[in-house]
Every structure is written in structure tokens, then in C-alpha cells.
Structure 1
Amino acid sequence: MIKLEGYKPPAKSSLRVAIVEDNATARMNLRSHLMSIDNFDIASYSNGKELRNGMRIANFDMVFIDFHLGQAKNGVEWIQQLIDTGAFRPSMGLFFVTSDSLPQTIGQILDLYPDVIVIKPYTIKGLTTNVKHYLHARQQLLPALQYMDAKKNENALAFVNERLSNGVAKRVEADFIKLKGRLLLSDKRYEEATQLYSSVLERSNGVLWAHWGLIKSEFFTGKWQHCKKMLDRLIDESLTKDKAYEWLASVEIGKQNYVLAEQLLDNIKDSELTIQATRLKTLCYKIQGKSEEALCLLEKKVQSNLSVKERLVDYAMELARYHLHLAEHFSEKHADESLSAAKVMLGKASKGIADRQSQMQKDTMLALAYLLDDDKPRAQRIIAESAHTNQFTKANIPTMIDAVRVWFGLGHTEKARALLDECDEQLMTHENHIESLIASDLLITTEKSLGIGKERALAINEKGLAEYQQHKFQSALSYFYRAYNMFPGVPAFSLNLLQCLSDAQQTEYKNVSIDKLVDELGSISLSDKNLKRMDSIRQKLKKIA
């Protein structure tokens, strides 16, 4: 029996519940129904901003949130923001209420690990059944959830494993398995997660959360061929079609098939593209040199969200980022136009910024704009003020990369290199596949433009070797693959990646297969030492085959 160190038994007071619904009648009805189920302490809000403010003064046990919240950000966007800032804790029960069963909507909701999705119009009986089941499962899982709140996922997983091994009631077994899968994914234990989700689907192929858990596991393990086959099948599922297109596009971008990725994203209407899917499509356009299409898409998104300040900030900054990209590649005259457009967009974004991370992102991009405009004193002043009030290590990866470019341009190379190391750490722990792809592209592009591609590739390879020596093959693969892509043609990088694949007993990693690596290494001259390594690896590969 494990010791529940740090576990606090629940107090006997009533659970605190937050309801977020923009329709006053629907909000009152839901409140009334919940009060008939249990003596909850309920707070009601009409939008996500009110919920965010409410969370600053109260801790909630359960949150019921509508997907559509008027003209503002939708429920998924608000919950994601609250998760990113640490306001939404793992122990909070998440109930999504929606009358929209469109594939894109359900797909977005599933990404947040909701406890329950309530489809309107719901019956009181159905709502009661779902809430009572959640309360019963919560009581059983509470020690694990509290460990997760305290960022002690290892303890949470140990608790869940012990309960499952000792046998739990059939009624809550799926809840325990679902939480175990979530913990394994969070801890990057993708092989174990793959086995867990596969076993669930063998018993019941219709479990959506298990499908998406398996897809995530195989995507991050680099087993993209099998991942793609699963997604092809899910295209026919009405509830997950659009999300499947996003994932398929991500796979094709990772394999550098940008035309096919663009065609896959064309299956989703521009008006229904999420901010992440918009970033994916913009990346496809950028790499193919389709600047007009990229600008058109982003400008359309900005215009359609002028009345939604929170979402306007995201799209305005994406458009500003693209203008900065163009400024670096255009002639002087056109570069001036792009820099001016970027500054206008950042000014537009600043009017709706309500959180520190967005403010940091805007300031850093503005400093980069002035640096590109050859106004170093102003760039220095902006980045110095931002660094004084913020910790760049807590920023998202694109913001850190912008800061790297500014520090390098101003001659502060040590600060820039320290941030690059932080980018490496964040990239290894990123749970969002789209953000991970976009960040990787930005990182490699920046390193090459700064002329430090080889230096960084060698450093990344060293990190891979350190992970490999500890038999952490999945994280080692990630580092070796990055070094291999950052500076192609180095035999040691190819050999390290091939050897790690053989030890992990894997035939592929993302868009690289063992056959491809063997052919590449066979076409170049190797040193005697590397030839011996190659012979040793071939023996291992025979066993895998």
C-alpha cells in the first residue's frame, strides 16, 4: 500500500460549482437542476472572463461551461487559457454543455479531457446520472487528482496503478483507466500509453477518448504510418472528422508533404478553422512560398473577429508575425511596408490584451520589428523593459524564439543561448502536437538564419546521447531526430538515430525509416569506427525485421 503523502481528505462542506453560460435562462435552469441533485455551492457567470476573475477568489470543484459563449471566445478557448495559466487545476471536474455536435466542436472539446459532454437539449434524468457518476468516480480518484494539483504525477500514477491492481468497481474502472492514460501521456510514457489505449479499443472500438489517446501516443512515438491509418479510418466518424483532418495534416507537415497537408486542411471551412488549424495552414503556405494566400487567410480571420477582443489578439499577432517573416525576405522597399503592417497589427492586438503572456509576446515582437527596422536603441529599450517585468523562461516557445532573435541582433548572445536551451526543454515537454510542429519549424529556421545550425545540432545530439545512456529511448529519439534534421549529412547523427531506433525496436520515427537511414549511410564514406558501429547495428536490425 502506498503512503498518501500530501493527500488531504475532502472536507465535508458542499462542493463549489461554477456555471458559465451566456444565456440567462439556460444558466438559471442548469443551476436549478444541479441544486436538485445535491446541495452544491454554485456561482454563475455569463462568459469566460467572469469565470477567470471568479477563479482568482474562489476554488471550484466542478465547472459546467457552454461551448458557445456569444461573440466572445468559446468555452474550449477559455478553459485552455485557464489551464495554460495554471488557474484550472486537474482536480476540477470539467463538464461541457453544448447544442453543437459538429465534428470540429466535439474534436476541440475532447482535446481537454472533459469528464462529461452534455448535449443540449438534455434531460434532467440524463444530467443527474452523469453528475452522480462523476461524483462517485471523483471520490475514488480524489487522492490522484490532488497529487496532480501538487504536480506529483508519479504519486498519482502509483495510486491509480495500485487501485487497478487491487481491483476497482466496474462502475469506475473506465474512469481509472482514462486517468491512467492521461498521466502516461503527460509523463511521455508513450509505449505504455499505446498498450493501455489499444487494450481498451480491443474490448470496445467505439471509445472516442481511447482513439484519440492512441493517436497521440503513436504520433509522439513517431509511429506515423500506423497513426495515419487510424486517422484515415476516423475521417468517416461524423463526430471526429475535422479533428482527424488536423491530425493528418500535422503528420504530412512533419513528413514535409506540404501540398497534401494544405489539401487536407481545405476540407475544413476557413470560418471553422481553429487558431491552431489556422497556424498549421499558414505554415503550409509559408513553406510553399504562398504569401498572398497566407495573408488572405490571416486578414480574413482578423476581420471576422474584430468584435471578439480575446480572439482578435491571437489572430492579429499571427498576422504581425507573418509580416515580420516577409520583412526578413523582401527587398528594402517591401520590407518597410511589411514592418509597418506588423506594427499596425501589434497596435491592434495591444488594445485587447488582458494577460501577461500575451503582453510579453506583443512586446517581444515589437522589439523584433524595430530591430529589423534598424532601430536598435528602441528594440533594446522594449526588450529590456519586458525582461525586467517578465520571465522569458515562462513564455511560450514562439515568444522565446523572438527574444532569441532580438538578443542575438543586439549582441547579447549569452542571453540568447540560455533561452535556446529553455526552448529545447519546453519542446521536449510540449503536449500539443500542432504547437510542437510550429515551434520546431520556428526553432530550426531561426538557428539557420543566425548561422548557429551546426553548433546547435551538436548540442542537441549531446542531449540525445545523455538520454540514450539512461535508456530513455523516446526522448533520445526526439533529440537525435532534431539534430539529424537541423544539420543533414553528418554520419554521426544518422548513426545515432539508427542505433536508437534499433534499441527501441522501432522501424520508423516520424518521416525517417530504418531502411532510409541504412541507404543514406551506405551511400557515404564512413570511418573504420563508424563501419564497426554500422555492422553492430545491422545485427540488431535483423532481429527487428
Structure 2
Amino acid sequence: MSYRLAIVEDNASARATLRSHLLSLGLFDISSFSNGNELKSALRKQNFEILLLDFHLGEGRNGVEWLQLLRNEQFIKPSTGIIFITCDRLPQTIGQIIDCQPDLLLIKPYNMHSLSRGLKHYVAYRGFVRDALYALDKDDTEQALSLLQRQLESTVPPRLRNDILKLKAQLLFDIGNIPRARALYDTILLESDKVLWAQWGKVKCHYVEGNWFACKDALSEMVSSQLARDKAFEWLAGLCFEQEAYSQAEFYLDHIKTSALSVPATRLKSLTYQKQHRIIEGIELLQKKRDANQSARDKFHEFTFELAEFYLSIAEQQPLTNRIESLSQARKLIGIAGRTLSDPQSVQKRDVLMAYTALLNNQSDKAAELMQGDSTLQFQRTDAGTLVTAAKVYGGVGQPQKAREMLALAHARNQTNLDLSDQITHQQSLTLTEQKMGLAAEQAFELNDTGTRLFVQQQYLQAMYYFYQAYRLLPGTAAFGLNLLQCMVQANHPAYRTFTVVALLENMSEAALSGNNQQRLAQLRQKVAENKHLYASAKVLDIADTDTSTEPAHPVKTDSAGSAS
């Protein structure tokens, strides 16, 4: 069988050499690309079974950033094999690559033997799990898991076993069977506690389970690893930001060099400044990142859009008469970023931001006109941030139903986002937007209904997420808190995010409840008393544990410009 393979390598000589080596194996139908934009254009017309990416792709986005973008915009099938090559042996680089869970990593200089051995291993693995991968592409994860389990119970070549376990754990995570996924990661870590992909898998399980205390403990251990250090600090910052502990979030982000901050991490840090009323520092950070990427067109445009959105967020909080300067800066930046765009998602982002700028300038007719262009007809690949902005525009021009559609899409898109910083900042934006647009109550009831449906289906962990979000949106509606409490008790789940069962039980005891809900509460109190040892020991992440008055555990590095980062 011949596999369609795409090489993405910016160096023409290296690309030709790699192609020549791969052709000699007789296993692949090969296409070659010099950058991610070329690959993205090709993916609009065809699929590849395997992507082979260099980490460094010139001055634009690196291979990991392109992979994340293509995954988030749904250009890559679940079965697509990911292979990375790099000559960069820096721990931070290797850590970034491992974090995106490639199927194979080759360190340059490779020779024909090592290249052949690695690719033949992957092809053997792919052939072994072929039926499961086919089921994945048909969106039948349960069938894929069943097939994998059947294979694991039969004779599996020892050299393929870890690859299959890795896939199984990821699929369990994807369908929401988090306890089984975490147990599988624990099994792998018992054999070797240095397996980074299993460490990250376990951290993500703790996060989704709402066990943020354990999540913080695991991340605190990972900051000592050069392969995981920056990402671990970013995650710790995200946990603090989600609990509105903005100074602590800044403290963790200060451990990462400014030059090493990703786009989502930069946005997160700029927002920590904004939340602490340090607007100028937020602008300076984004401008510094923008200046540093003048020669990298893709990243320059990304940071230009980020800075424009920052100015728009300032304008949102000002009366109309005081918005002139912020809107002028935003309009100028959007124009700069939008001059040479050809990618449909970027063009759409430009038009949506321009429409929102017009709306904030009290030009609702112009905003409505901009939202009727060709770029805003389809939103299947739109990122959550742009969807939230589109919802604001539709709400402002008298199209509430379209606004609701955008918010629903944003919620769905955000749950599948692979980047925690992205997910956290967009979730906060979603909540604030729903509250400002007067949709909080309506959205909270919809979230509660979704949670109830999942609860009836005994999908308790997924139900907790929806009950929690509903209660956060409308904390005065005690019934939402009671639903969350019942779900946690039913699942023997002593803590979820910022609530323990014991604390939630106390909150509900003081709330005004109907007669039926009082009976439910009494039954839940009895169940908790019967298993008090489980619930009494539960902990949630206490942000007071973070002491920002002390020196960082790892020295803060300084960029060449001399700024602490």
C-alpha cells in the first residue's frame, strides 16, 4: 500500500534530499511544500495520511504552531500521522514537539538507516491499527477503541505496544472517559516516570476532571524538567487566571522569556496586565512581540490582530466619547494586518474585527454591511475568539439569533481547543459577552439542560462541566448549584474545579430552595454523611498557596532588550 505523504521543509536542498530518501523506500506518494501556507492550501483539496514537518520553517510559524493551527481549524483527519524532524536539540524545542504528541521525532543529522528504521516502524504501527484509524475518520471512536482493545488482548509486537497504548489513552480522553485514560497514563508512568507524553496526558486528565489541586501538584514537579518547563509555567498561570488570581498568573508567566511566549501565552499575559489596570504594560508587551516578528509575516499578522483586539477591549470599557483613540489604533492595526491576506480564516477575522470597530464607533449600518460580505458566510473553521466577536456584532446590529448561533459555536469550538491559554481566555470572553448581551440567563438554562441530558446518560464528568458553567453564569440560581452537587455525589467526585462537595453542601444549605429541592438536598446530605471520609479529604486549588513575594524557584531570564520576561 502506498501512503500519501507531505513533506514541509523550508530548505530546498534538505527537502529534495528528504524526498529522494523517502522515494527509495517505495512506500509513499510524496508531495513537497516549503511552508505551512502551501500545505494548508493543498489540504483544502486533498488529504495526506502522513505529514512530515520540519520544526523550523523559516521566519514564520514553526512546525508545531502550524500543526496546532491546522488541527484547530479541522484541516487534519484524526488518523493523520505526524512526524517531526529537527536539528534543534534545545530542550524547549524538543518539549514543544513532544507536547503535540507526534507519532515520530527524528533529530538531524539523520542518515538513511535511521530515517528508514523510523518510518518503517511507523508504517508497521499504522498497518497494525489500520481498522481503528479508519473508524476514527468515520467519527466512530467507540468502534476504534473496541478494535484497539481486541488487538491488545491478542498478540501485539512488543515494539508497537506503547504506540497502541498511547493511541488508546488519547481516544479514551477524547470520548470523555477520563478515569480510564488517567489509569492508563499511570500504568505507563509506573514503568517509566520520565515519559513526557504520559505526564502531560495525566495533567490534562486532572484538569478535565476538575481536580485542579492535583493538576497544580503535577505541574509544579514538571517545571524542573527543561523539556516541560515553559509549558508547565503557562499552565500554572492559566489555572490562576481562571480563578481571577491575576498577580499569581503574572508571576508564573514571568518565568518564561518574552521571546519564548507563544501567541496564546502572550495574550494571557497581556490580559493579566489589563485585569490589574496596567494597560500600558499590556500594549507594550504585544507591541514588543509584534516588533520582534517584523520579518515573519504570519506571526507579525497574528500579533498585529492581537494588539488590535486589545485596543478594542479597551474601547469596550469606555464611553463612546472616549473611544476615539483606541478605535483609531485598532482600525489602523487591522488595516495593516489585512493588506496582503489570502487565507480565508484571516480575511474573515479582519472583516469581523472591522465590523466590531464600526459598531463600537456607533456605525451599526456599516457593521451590518461588513457582516454581509463573502468572508462571513461560513464559520465552520472559525476560531472561538472570532466567533465571540462576531456574536457581539450580530447582537449589536439587531440579529440576536445569529449572535446565539455564534456563541453556541464558540462554546463547542472552545471545548475542543488544544491550547489551555486559548481555552481559558476565550472562556472568560464568552462568559463576559453573554452577561453584557443579556443572554446569561438564557445561556445558563441551556447549559443546565445540556448537563441534565448528560446526567441522565450517566456521563457525569461532562455533565459537571455544564452544571458548573451554568452556576458560574447565574450564581443566584441555587438549583444549578444543587444539580452540580448531585452530579458530584452520584459520581463519587469529591471536588470539581473551585468547589468541593462539602463546601457546595454548605452553600446549598443556606440557599432558598423549593420543597422538592429541599428533599433532594436532604438525600444528598445523607449520602455524603455515609461516605464522609471520601468527601472530607477533598481539596481545591488554593491560590493563596502561591507566594509571589518570594524569588522564583527558577531565575527569571532577561531578553537582550533587558526586560524581565
Relative to the length of structure 2, the TM-score reads 0.88
Deviation at 1:473, TM superposition (A): 0.8
Change (3 A) 1:34 1:303: same
1:411 aligns with 2:368: no
Which range is displaced more, 230-239 or 187-196?
187-196
Shift of 1:431: 4.2
Counterpart-to-counterpart distance in 2, 1:300 and 1:405: 29
**1:164 corresponds to:** 152
Aligned counterparts of 2:525 and 2:75: Cα–Cα separation in 1: 51
Counterpart in the other structure of 2:86: 98
Of 114, 130, 154, the residue aligned with 1:142 is 130
Q: State the Cα distance separating 1:56 from its structure 2 match.
A: 5.2
Distance 1:91 1:452 in 2: 38
Sort the Cα spacing of 1:386 and 1:191 in 2 relative to 1 into closer, same or farther, 3 A: farther
Contact 1:91 / 1:149 at 8 angstroms: preserved in 2?
yes
What's the secondary structure of 1:502's corresponding residue?
helix
195, 198, 202: which is aligned to 2:190? 202
Structure 1 position 100, deviation (Å): 2.3
| 2:550 paired residue number | none
1:117, distance to aligned residue in structure 2 (A): 1.4
Query: Which 10-residue stretch deviates more, 432-441 or 497-506?
Result: 432-441
CA distance in structure 2 between the aligned counterparts of 1:76 and 1:374, rounded to whole angstroms: 40
1:393, CA displacement in angstroms?
5.2
- Cα offset, 1:227, TM superposition: 1.2
Letter in 2 for 1:215: V
Equivalent in the alignment of 2:38: 50
Residue ranges of structure 2 left out of the alignment (5+ in a row): 536-565
Query: Could you say which residue in structure 2 is the equivalent of 1:30?
Result: 18
**Aligned equivalent of 2:554:** none
Of 398, 402, 407 in structure 1, the residue corresponding to residue 389 of structure 2 is 402
User: CA-to-partner distance for each residue in 1:375-424, whole Å, 9 max, x for gaps?
Assistant: 1111110012257x522354222222212211211122222223333333
Equivalent residue number for residue 257 of structure 1: 245
Quote the residue 2:466 is aligned against: 479
Q: How far apart are the structure 2 equivalents of 1:307 and 1:66?
A: 19
Which digits, 9 at most, give the CA deviation of each residue in 1:212-243, with x for residues without a partner?
11111111111111111111111111111111
Verify the 8 A CA contact 2:47 2:76 in the aligned structure 1.
no
Q: 1:451 to 1:234 in 2, by over 3 A?
A: same
Give, in whole Å, the separation in 2 of the partners of 1:516 and 1:106: 42
Contact in 2 for aligned 1:103/1:242 (Cα 8 Å): no
Q: Which residue of 1 aligns with 2:318?
A: 330
Residues 287, 215 of structure 1: CA spacing in aligned structure 2 closer, same or farther, 3 A cutoff? same
Counterpart position of 2:482: 495
Pick one of 381, 385, 396 that aligns with 2:373. 385
CA contact (8 A) 2:178 2:209 kept: yes
The answer on whether the counterparts of 1:255 and 1:510 sit within 8 Å (CA) in structure 2 is no
Q: How far, CA to CA, are the matches of 1:489 and 1:56 in structure 2?
A: 47
- CA shift for structure 1 position 123: 4.4
Work out whether 1:73 is the aligned partner of 2:82: no
Letter in 2 for 1:469: V
Please, which of 325, 339, 354 is the counterpart of residue 342 of structure 2? 354
Larger deviation, residues 115-124 vs 169-178: 115-124
1:491 Cα deviation from its structure 2 partner: 1.7
Other-structure match for 1:453: 440
Between 1 and 2, higher relative CO (CA 8 Å, sep ≥ 6) is seen in: 2
Q: Mean alpha-carbon deviation: is it higher for 450-459 or for 253-262?
A: 450-459
Q: Say whether the 8 Å CA contact 2:222–2:229 is kept in structure 1.
A: yes
Assess if the C-alpha contact under 8 Å between 2:68 and 2:418 holds in 1. no
Q: How does 1:115-130 map to 2 (within 5 A)?
A: 115-130=103-118
Structure 1 379/386 Cα, relative in aligned 2: closer, same or farther at 3 Å? farther
- Check whether the contact 2:246–2:275 (CA below 8 A) recurs between aligned residues: yes
Q: Tell me the equivalent position of 1:342.
A: 330
Residue equivalent to 1:467: 454
- Shifted more, 450-459 versus 474-483: the winner is 450-459
Superposed structure 1 runs of 4+ greater than 6 Å apart: none
Q: Distance in 1 between matches of 2:157 and 2:294?
A: 51
Does the Cα contact within 8 Å between 2:3 and 2:28 map onto a contact in 1? yes
Matched letter for residue 176 of structure 1: I
Q: CA deviation at 1:178?
A: 0.9
Aligned counterpart in structure 2 of residue 297 of structure 1, from 275, 281, 285: 285
1:4 — aligned with what? none
- 1:56 and 1:367 map into 2 onto residues whose CA distance is 27
Partners of 2:378 and 2:43 lie apart in 1 by: 23
How far apart are 1:145 and its partner, in Å?
1.8
TM-score, normalised to structure 1, is: 0.91
Write the letter of the residue equivalent to 2:255: N
Residue 19 in 1 paired to residue 25 in 2?
Answer: no
Unaligned runs of at least 5 residues, structure 1: 1-11
Distance 1:152 1:279 in 2: 35
* Superimposed CA distance per residue, residues 298-326 of structure 1 (whole angstroms, 9 cap, x where no aligned partner): 11122222222222222111111111111
The two structures, once aligned, show a CA RMSD in angstroms of 2.2
Question: Aligned pair in 2 of structure 1 residues 310, 192: CA closer, same or farther (>3 Å)?
Answer: same
Equivalent position of 1:319 in the other structure: 307
2:430 corresponds to which of 440, 443, 460: 443
Alignment-derived partner of residue 8 in structure 1:
none
Shift of 1:493: 1.9
Please tell me whether the aligned partners of residues 215 and 227 of structure 1 are also in contact (alpha carbons under 8 angstroms). Answer: yes
Structure 1: distance between partners of 2:443 and 2:28? 54
Task: From the superposition, tell whether residues 404 and 55 of structure 1 become closer, same or farther in structure 2 (CA, over 3 Å).
Answer: closer
Please give the alpha-carbon distance, in whole angstroms, between the structure 1 residues aligned to 2:20 and 2:409.
Answer: 48
